[in-house]
Amino acid sequence: MTEPILEAKGLSRSFGHVRALDAADFDINPGEVVAVIGDNGAGKSTLVKALTGNLALDTGEIRFEGKPVHITSPQQASALGMEVVYQDLALAPHLNPVQNMFLGRELSRKGVLGRLGFMDEKTMREKAKQSFAELGGTVRSMSAPIGSMSGGQRQQVAIARAISWADKVVFLDEPTAALGVVQTQNVLESIKRVKAKGIAVILISHSMPHVLEVADRVQVLRLGRRVATFDASKTSVEELVGAMTGALDKSGEAA
């Protein structure tokens, strides 16, 4: 039994009278793709925010590589090797893919020039190209602004950015929500490649077929709790929907 790279126990968070998370558990192993599904308001986004330092918890414990951690800021999550690809991607539309990829983490030139704030554009471009190629290379231009690119290309830039800084865990929040068929397929391929690099992927999605295609395990949230965990290869859309809506009430650590 491998040790989970990221594990959460009994996470709770209330907003007024609403219990967004109600003693929710979560776990993911290195190099695993875990999908988190749930109806609207089930607490998926809250869970991601809590795990990445974007939201303070009322109670609960988070363990990273077996050690208890207290994550209070996104920067801290980054330092641990975790990155989030937000649903809105958080890209700057006027900047090109390379600039977006290195935004906030630009490589400096060596010596005095670097200290004056000059950037090593050439190395950044090479590294970015390499990252895009690793993901299947749908990003063609390194110099056009992101805003002029297709949704799939933007998604890939966001994913490439996340995995080039996260060597442990990547969160993908609804990565296929706004994409066409071809682009969705590209993103799913990208997820497989990320997994192949040994990075754990947490996939938040509404789309059951996509979830079943790429995930190893599926964890179902309902009313702020994890109500079921399924092995993706042994479950079906019907079973997942049943767990999501509560028609099929399996609580705790099922199969």
Partner 1 sequence: MSVIRPPEDVAVVDTHEGQQSLLKRLGNTQSVWILGVLVVIVAFFSVAAGGKFLSASNFSLISQNVAVWAVLGVGMTFVIITSGIDLSIGSVLVFSSVVAAKVMEAVGGQGWGTAIIGIAAALVSGLFWGVINGYLVAKAKIPALIVTLGTLSVALGLAQVITGGIDVRSVPEAMTDFNTYIKILGIPSLPFIALIVLVIGGIVLHRTKFGRYTYAVGSNEEAARRVGVRVDRHLIRIYALSGLLAGFAGTMSLAQFGTTTIAGQSLTNLNVIAAVVIGGTSIFGGEGSIFGTVVGLFIPAVLQAGFVIIGVQPFWQGVAVGTVLVAAVYVDQSRRAAALRGASSTNPLRAMLRRNK
How near is the Cβ of 118 to partner 1 at its closest, in Å?
6
Sheet with 200-204, strands from edge to edge, namely 82-85, 169-173, 200-204, 33-38, 217-222, 225-231
Of 91, 88, 162, 87, nearest to 132 by C-alpha is 162
Q: Which is nearer to partner 1, 85 or 202 (CB)?
A: 85
Local structure of 222: helix, strand or coil = strand
How near is the Cβ of 179 to partner 1 at its closest, in Å?
6
Q: Which is nearer to partner 1, 69 or 95 (CB)?
A: 95
| Amino acid at the residue 190 | S
**Site for partner 1, rule CB under 8 A:** 74-75, 78, 86, 89-95, 99, 103-106, 108, 116-119, 125, 129, 132-133, 136-138, 140-145, 147-153, 178-183, 186
β-sheet bridge partners, residue 35 = 203, 218
Instruction: Output the CA–CA distances (angstroms, integers) from residue 113 to 100, 109, 117, 126, 159, in the order listed.
Output: 22, 6, 7, 20, 31
How near is the Cβ of 170 to partner 1 at its closest, in Å?
15
Residue tagged 């002029």 (tokens): 148
How near is the Cβ of 158 to partner 1 at its closest, in Å?
10
Q: Which is nearer to partner 1, 183 or 229 (CB)?
A: 183
Looking at residue 226, the DSSP 8-state letter turns out to be: E
Q: Which is nearer to partner 1, 44 or 125 (CB)?
A: 125
How near is the Cβ of 123 to partner 1 at its closest, in Å?
14
Q: Which is nearer to partner 1, 39 or 120 (CB)?
A: 120
